[in-house]
Structure 1
Amino acid sequence: MWAIPLLSKLSATLSWLLCCLFLASTGAPVIAAESAHLQEATLHYHFRPIVTFRTTLMGMTPETRVRRALARLDTLAANQMGEPVEVTPFTVDGKRGINLRIGQLVLFNVLEGDLDPEEKLSLDEAGRRAASEMQAALQAASEQNRPMVLLKGAGLSILATAIALLLLWLIRRATTLMVRHLQVVIEAENASSRLRWARHGWLLVKRLAQLLMGFLWLNVAYLWLTYVLARFPLTEPLGDRLTDFLFGLLETLGAGLLGAMPALTTALVILFLTKAFNDALGNFFKAAKEGRVQVPGLHPETVTATHRLVNILVWGLGIAIAYPFIPMSDSDAFKGLSVMFGFMLTLGSAGIVNQLMSGLVLVYSRALSVGDFVDIGEHVGVVSEVGALSTKMINMRNEEVTIPNAVLVGNPIRNYSRLAGARGTLVSTKVTIGYDTPWRQVHAMLIAAAEQTPGLRVLPKPFVYQRSLADWYVEYELFAHMDKPLERVPVLSALHANIQDQFNTYGVQIMSPHFVSQPRNNVVVPPEGWHAPPAAPDAPPPQR
């Protein structure tokens, strides 16, 4: 009977050994995997980094070690915070470590596995540094409870707040005065001044002023927050971080500016030489436009357009040469902008290039220029502007008509001013008179009507042509010169009224008689009627 309990014990012992072997064979990889996936955790106390845990201690992960250390720190009494932090070495499970404690209370431990290989610090040095950081954090927490420290910090913070509010008000006041003064200056300038563009970009000017004011406000707020945080022991690390960030940013910008000075100087020199060369070309084109320089193929009408094209080529070449020397020109931001502008140019270039090339055709063909009286399809008027994309003209109704250059190139252009010169623009009107009226009399009446019409020039003298000898009438066309093409409609109206008065005065009917049957006598003018008034005897036909 005694063998049964013995067998039971042996069976239980064998089962326990098998379970241990199974757990050892399966648990080792799990522990190794957990160790491989450990994440470091940093102990912060009152915004101060104390130490970073990177290994486990008695099965506790770094996160658990941080939580337990904070729980111990929260149990410290006010009188304990002023006591020194002691460092004691120890060894556990073959791992060397350092104990940080205040009196008999252990705050946390630093192990060899917590050391950063890149810092190359020994365990003792890491322990002393952690103790120093811990001592400073506890001292700050202790000083935060002193009433005088709080009162001093609050007083200085109130003073800094008042100064910051005063600076914000002064910045806003100065920005408002500057914007008002600029608005007065812009409104006082006439349309031909250099600031005429600002009238259309006034909203942009206001937005730039607001951005400048916002930037200054942010700087004042940043400095105020940095100063206030640094006045209290607990938040002093945050103020130090803001200060370090500001000075680090300034240092980075300063170092970058100093490093970019040679390349930036080179770019400025290239642009300066480009401007000097462009100014020299500008003087040349100015002399050509004034007639002081004669260049084959360069006409006064095309000097301005040629100057603009050369301007674009010179500046494009200068910017292309200076571009690699501009700081950050090879950065991803500049590359992205280049791709965006290229994409926009590709999408909108078809129509724009067509209009630009049509504008060049108009300019270099010298088909029209500003001030010419032209007839373009359904539009008749004076050209007021020849632009790169379109041409503007003012018609006889005093309406401004904008015509795309591509449309102008595709339509015939009648320019009444190009060959007029000092003689003025030529206008004409037609009448048909029967064969029974002497042509000399018709000529004299038409010329008399033209001489009595305001707006028509006496010299050169008006003249008449007989355009055709039709079946039933003779077609006469009166030509006269005028100085103001836009007044063509009222001048022609007055001329037509004077023609009617002249013909009615001398009994000549403005009508083309269509005969139903041939009359008995030939419809002719006898020689004695060739010089009927107001025609002068033996007057020769008028010449142009």
Structure 2
Amino acid sequence: MNTIHRMLRCMMLLAVILAPWPLLAKEAAAPEAVLTIANRDIATLRMTALGGSPELRVRRIHERLRQLDENELSKPITRSHLTIEGQKGVVYSIGERNIFVLYEGDLDPEEKMGLEETSQQVGKRFEQAIAALIEQGHGPVVARGLLFSILATALMVVLLWGIRKATTLVLDRLQEKVLSANEDTRLRWAAQGWLLVKRIAQLLLLTLWLSVAYLWFTYVLANFPLTQPLAERLSGFLVNMLEGFGEGLVTSVPGLLTVGVILFITKAANDVAGNVFQNVYQGRSLIPGVHRDTAHATRRLLGVLIWAVGIAIAYPYLPVADSEAFKGLSVMFGFMLTLGSAGIVTQLMSGLVLIYSRALKVGDFVSIGEVTGVVKEMSALSTKIINMRNEEVTIPNAVLVNNPIKNFTGAAGERGTLISTTVTIGYDTPWRQVHAMLINAAERTSGLRSQPKPFVMQKALQDFYVEYEIYAYVDRPLERIQILSELHSQIQDEFNTYGVQIMSPNFVLQPKNNVVVGKEQWFAEPAEKP
């Protein structure tokens, strides 16, 4: 029995201890509520008083205010101190009607302000809110606000229309000037980026529209007493944003100045290097190990190195250098470059091999594999060649490095490209006569240079004939086929004129007459005389 009594007493004691917890939990869980009158924050209620939670207290205050007409709201506002259930408070009254009570439990402990000081601030805000309610009920005030709002709306429409027309006019004029440019290289380049310019202009137009609309909306709200606090918040947001932008700009000025100085020095160093290598290319200076044909390539490589060092030094001084977004973007670009740079690096290194080996340059007449033509362009990744059929052939630099390159211009220098053709003549014809006829034919061929003069070589003494080869220089290597065709025609006419046959048969008996075409038959039908 004693054991049972002890258990009952323990259970009763536990019940007594835990009984207040639901009330305490309910009181602790009661959320705070903000008392707002005429869109103005008056006070934050945190205490549950007389069985009413903060939210219920706010609803009761609004209900009391709705019961008051304009005459009652116009009565003086008073404050008086009281104590309810051991809690000190300040009661706010309009005339003889009590509106709400601010308790010590409603104070924010973090602000460390007393009841008297807080009550004074709450009283001022309460008076301003009641004044706004009274003013909002006056017809002239509302009419004036509507009139000013209508005028502001008309002004906004005119501004938006003017911005639209001005932007369209400027873009149309600029587009007409850019797209009609024929000689100005900069404007022709700008035509390629016209779409980007147009998109930027549209973005600026949208920004101006939003700015005008924002200012209009703020002004309209400020015309009515009830919405003035909203206008103040909007204007405060704009002011804070501009202040933050201005502070950030001022803070970043030293770093931007440092970046500007570093980039200025970098550009000066790059210009000095460019002038040095330009003098090497023009033959006015000499740098050991640098050939004039490789001066431009060396200048570009050194320029890339100079700018890379300058940017690396200036990077920490950029305002966005420490931002996580910029760091993430740098990591992403580095990762992409690492994955996709293997093939590009191979082509770049092959291009450097071609440049520094001086195997070919722009304007050279070359033969690479099955491609024969003139080098049009040499870039970091590929080389473009115009072949005999006026076709542009693009060859990757790695392919060029792995194939033999025949350069017909490299050894010729200023003489031009050397071409040749072969004829075989019998032993019964004097070789001096053959030399003279071949040279005469070459001199009458258009496209061949008169200086240096054409010359003839006797390549071989075959069993039945002598093999002669005429050499001449051309200025237009791409017309090699046409020039050779005309040279062959002139050789035929020359040999027919002097009765020398261009024929090397394996014969048993020499024909009675030379096998030539008589001059009277040179223009036999359907050929036409010139």
Superposed, which structure 2 residues align to 1:247-266 within 5 Å? 247-266=239-258
Distance 1:23 1:506 in 2: 142
Q: Provide the residue aligned with 2:285 in structure 1.
A: 293
> In the alignment, does 2:473 pair up with 1:481?
yes
Match of 1:136 among 128, 133, 142: 128
Deviations 1:414-453 (A, max 9, x none): 2111122221111123345566766555544443432332
Contact kept in structure 1, 2:218 and 2:235, CA below 8 Å: yes
Match of 1:123 among 115, 118, 126: 115
Contact kept in structure 2, 1:84 and 1:135, CA below 8 Å: no
Deviations 1:354-396 (A, max 9, x none): 2222222222121222211122222222222211222222222
The one-letter code sitting in structure 2 at the alignment partner of 1:483 is D
Superposed, which structure 2 residues align to 1:339-378 within 5 Å? 339-378=331-370
Superposed, which structure 2 residues align to 1:69-84 within 5 Å? 69-84=61-76
Question: Aligned to 2:360, what secondary structure does the other structure show?
Answer: coil
Q: Which range moved further: 61-70 or 224-233?
A: 61-70
Flag the 1:465–1:61 CA change in 2: closer, same or farther, 3 A: farther
Contact kept in structure 2, 1:189 and 1:195, CA below 8 Å: yes
Match of 2:265 among 268, 273, 283: 273
Superposed, which structure 2 residues align to 1:323-338 within 5 Å? 323-338=315-330
Q: Provide the residue aligned with 1:169 in structure 2.
A: 161
How far 1:241 sits from its partner (Å)? 0.9
Distance 1:382 1:436 in 2: 42
> In the alignment, does 2:82 pair up with 1:90?
yes
How far 1:457 sits from its partner (Å)? 1.8
Match of 2:203 among 202, 211, 231: 211
How far 1:349 sits from its partner (Å)? 1.5
> In the alignment, does 2:258 pair up with 1:303?
no
Distance 2:421 2:75 in 1: 117
Question: Aligned to 2:20, what secondary structure does the other structure show?
Answer: helix
Match of 1:158 among 141, 150, 153: 150
Task: Give unmatched runs, 5+ long, in structure 1.
Answer: 1-16, 524-528, 530-544
> In the alignment, does 2:221 pair up with 1:245?
no
> In the alignment, does 2:420 pair up with 1:407?
no
Distance 1:71 1:252 in 2: 42
> In the alignment, does 2:93 pair up with 1:101?
yes
> In the alignment, does 2:141 pair up with 1:149?
yes
Flag the 1:244–1:453 CA change in 2: closer, same or farther, 3 A: same
Q: Which range moved further: 54-63 or 374-383?
A: 54-63
How far 1:148 sits from its partner (Å)? 1.0
Q: Which range moved further: 74-83 or 27-36?
A: 27-36
Distance 2:19 2:405 in 1: 97
Q: How many residues end up aligned between the 2 structures? A: 503
RMSD (Å), alpha carbons:
2.9
How far 1:271 sits from its partner (Å)? 1.9
Question: Aligned to 2:119, what secondary structure does the other structure show?
Answer: helix
Deviations 1:492-533 (A, max 9, x none): 222233334445556666555357xxx5x8x9xxxxx9xxxx
Q: Provide the residue aligned with 1:534 in structure 2.
A: none
Flag the 1:36–1:475 CA change in 2: closer, same or farther, 3 A: farther
TM score, norm. by length of structure 1: 0.84
Question: Aligned to 1:87, what secondary structure does the other structure show?
Answer: strand
Task: Give unmatched runs, 5+ long, in structure 2.
Answer: 1-8, 515-530
Distance 2:428 2:17 in 1: 137
Question: Aligned to 2:225, what secondary structure does the other structure show?
Answer: coil
Deviations 1:288-330 (A, max 9, x none): 2222211122222222222222222222212222222222321
Q: Provide the residue aligned with 1:13 in structure 2.
A: none
Question: Aligned to 2:70, what secondary structure does the other structure show?
Answer: coil
The one-letter code sitting in structure 2 at the alignment partner of 1:449 is A
Q: Which range moved further: 88-97 or 136-145?
A: 88-97
Distance 1:382 1:165 in 2: 63
Contact kept in structure 2, 1:434 and 1:513, CA below 8 Å: no
Flag the 1:381–1:64 CA change in 2: closer, same or farther, 3 A: farther
> In the alignment, does 2:40 pair up with 1:45?
no
Deviations 1:66-89 (A, max 9, x none): 333333333332333323333333
Question: Aligned to 1:80, what secondary structure does the other structure show?
Answer: helix
Distance 1:71 1:473 in 2: 129
How far 1:121 sits from its partner (Å)? 1.6
How far 1:59 sits from its partner (Å)? 4.1
Deviations 1:40-70 (A, max 9, x none): 3222233211211223224433333333333
Match of 1:385 among 369, 377, 380: 377
Distance 2:391 2:490 in 1: 28
Contact kept in structure 1, 2:427 and 2:465, CA below 8 Å: yes
Superposed, which structure 2 residues align to 1:159-238 within 5 Å? 159-190=151-182, 193-238=185-230
How far 1:459 sits from its partner (Å)? 2.6
Question: Aligned to 2:72, what secondary structure does the other structure show?
Answer: coil
Distance 1:19 1:97 in 2: 40
Distance 2:19 2:490 in 1: 122
Flag the 1:63–1:379 CA change in 2: closer, same or farther, 3 A: farther
Contact kept in structure 1, 2:458 and 2:466, CA below 8 Å: yes
Contact kept in structure 2, 1:78 and 1:142, CA below 8 Å: yes
Distance 2:233 2:12 in 1: 53
Distance 1:483 1:295 in 2: 32
Distance 1:287 1:211 in 2: 47
Question: Aligned to 1:234, what secondary structure does the other structure show?
Answer: helix
Superposed, which structure 2 residues align to 1:499-538 within 5 Å? 499-503=491-495, 513=505, 519=508
Q: Provide the residue aligned with 2:519 in structure 1.
A: none
Question: Aligned to 1:401, what secondary structure does the other structure show?
Answer: strand
How far 1:130 sits from its partner (Å)? 2.2
Distance 2:475 2:107 in 1: 98
Flag the 1:134–1:372 CA change in 2: closer, same or farther, 3 A: same
Flag the 1:501–1:286 CA change in 2: closer, same or farther, 3 A: same
How far 1:201 sits from its partner (Å)? 0.6
Contact kept in structure 1, 2:179 and 2:188, CA below 8 Å: no
How far 1:185 sits from its partner (Å)? 3.5
Deviations 1:249-275 (A, max 9, x none): 222222222223223222222222222
How far 1:27 sits from its partner (Å)? 4.2
Superposed, which structure 2 residues align to 1:394-473 within 5 Å? 394-432=386-424, 442-468=434-460
Distance 2:281 2:97 in 1: 96
Flag the 1:67–1:365 CA change in 2: closer, same or farther, 3 A: farther
The one-letter code sitting in structure 2 at the alignment partner of 1:132 is K
